[in-house]
Amino acid sequence: MNSGRLVLGQLLDLLPKAEFHRCVKRYRGNFHCRRFTCYDQFLTLAFAQLTCRESLRDIETCLRALDTRLYHAGLRARVARNTLAKANEKRDWRIYADLAQILIARARRLYARESFGVELKQTAYAFDSTTIDLCLRLFPWAHFRRRKAAVKLHTLMDLRGSIPCFILLTHGKVSDVRSLDALPLEPGAFYVFDRGYTDFARLYRFGLASAFFVTRAKRGLDFRCVASRPVDKKTGLRCDQTIRLKGPLTSRRYPTVLRRIVYVDPETGKRFVFLTNNFTLDALTMAQLYHARWKIELFFKWIKQYLRIKAFYGTSENAVKTQVWIAVCVYVLVAILKKELRLDRSLGEILQILSLTLFEKTPILQVLSQPAPAVSDPNAQKQLSLFTF
């Protein structure tokens, strides 16, 4: 990362190019490709994500304006919107999904000791989904309602570092609870989700896989208390019980005991009822673990604000998935950059700075670590008061 190279080229040094080419070869991404390779496609769409380009024409215009610098950034082919559109439609999106998993594994190692507000040795995940509204006429494959289309991003996020580990992109009609069937379960890990995912047959699968879940109970849950443990009510806890489901259907779907924790937030006074299959951690830690679930809500807000994720450059399913996975790659690359350079800035600030400095020949550490200059106005003390008579 020397001063003679573009900031974009220094950022791409974090990309494992040998493993990326193996991903391309696995899905024959460059088959019958003369000039515009998969790496060129990735670089073009990464540029679009980093600078928030709005359309294919916008990408083409901006890159042609920077034509003399593209070679030094690693982009060898001339970018035309028709070529990019065909690449987004035809080239397998799994190339970039596999690349994202490689980057995610690296980022998780860097953030393995990151604190997320809960003293927990095991891995903790938050699972949730966000809906992206689309035009039904342009995206007929993503049918959601009678006159509306949408896609859902079902996301599993590691709470240490807010790193997305698993993403399932479906059309809007797929319910949240059905996405639990595709969720990879890690023995000993904690999975936190809201009560929209309460399906006792699917929750029982967590125990069979030696994994733990924490969720909120729905109202009207039919159960009987088997045992009760004392709690410190000064912390907001109200009860810590071992229960068994009594409903004719739920008792068959979840035949073993559950742990029920009632907690009242001291600040808001809101009452929460948690269900979990873990009986070893104290009840307050369980409440704190569920509170950390809000990190995934902040993640969804972040990617919609800073990345091109609500509007797409292509209308096919392959183009949408390609853009989503490249957006994930960019997010994880910025997270890796932040950790390896030990930056104090937030990911949003880093992305905003990169959007303006991608084609400057400055060391990337210098670009991202420079403090904002303090603006002093010598005439500030000379300003007259509006209400002085």
217-257 per-position pLDDT tens digit = 998 899 999 999 999 999 999 999 999 999 899 999 999 99
Tens digits of per-residue pLDDT, 71-114? 777 777 778 889 999 999 999 999 999 999 999 999 999 999 88
Q: Which of 237, 265, 286 is the last residue of a domain?
A: 286
Asked whether residue 157 is domain-assigned, the answer is no
Least trusted range by pLDDT, from 32-36, 112-116, 154-158, 273-277: 32-36
Q: Which of 254, 286, 318 is the last residue of a domain?
A: 286
Q: What is the pLDDT averaged over residues 187-201?
A: 93
| Per-residue pLDDT at 70 | 78
Q: What is the pLDDT averaged over residues 14-31?
A: 92
Q: How many domains does the chain have?
A: 2
Distance (Å, rounded) from C-alpha 185 to C-alpha 182?
A: 9
Distance (Å, rounded) from C-alpha 130 to C-alpha 132?
A: 7
Asked whether residue 38 is domain-assigned, the answer is yes
Which residue type does 335 have? A
| Per-residue pLDDT at 18 | 94
Q: Residue 277 maps to which CATH number?
A: 3.30.1370
Distance (Å, rounded) from C-alpha 190 to C-alpha 47?
A: 36
Asked whether residue 232 is domain-assigned, the answer is yes
SS3 272: strand
Cβ proximity of 225 and 242 under 8 Å? yes
Q: Tell me if the pTM is above 0.85.
A: yes
Q: Torsion-angle region of residue 191: left (phi > 0), alpha (psi -120 to 50) or beta? A: beta
Q: Do 198 and 277 have their domain in common?
A: yes
Q: Do 270 and 340 have their domain in common?
A: no
Which residues sit opposite 124 in a β-bridge?
Answer: 190
Q: Is pLDDT at 315 greater than 70 in this prediction?
A: yes
Tokens 């559109």 -> residue: 85
Asked whether residue 198 is domain-assigned, the answer is yes
Q: Which of 222, 254, 286 is the last residue of a domain?
A: 286
Helix (H) or strand (E) holding 208: helix 200-208
Distance (Å, rounded) from C-alpha 374 to C-alpha 172?
A: 48
Domain that holds residue 335: 7-96+327-368
Q: Do 14 and 80 have their domain in common?
A: yes
Which residues, 6 or more positions from 334, have their beta carbon under 8 angstroms from its beta carbon? 347, 350, 351, 354
Asked whether residue 278 is domain-assigned, the answer is yes
Q: Do 279 and 357 have their domain in common?
A: no
Report residue 1's pLDDT band, with 50, 70 and 90 as the boundaries: very low
Asked whether residue 66 is domain-assigned, the answer is yes
Q: Is pLDDT at 120 greater than 50 in this prediction?
A: yes
| Per-residue pLDDT at 79 | 84
Asked whether residue 105 is domain-assigned, the answer is no
16-43 in b/e form (b: 16+ CB < 10 A) is eeeebeebbeebebbeebeebbbbbbbb
| Per-residue pLDDT at 377 | 55
Report residue 371's pLDDT band, with 50, 70 and 90 as the boundaries: low
Asked whether residue 28 is domain-assigned, the answer is yes
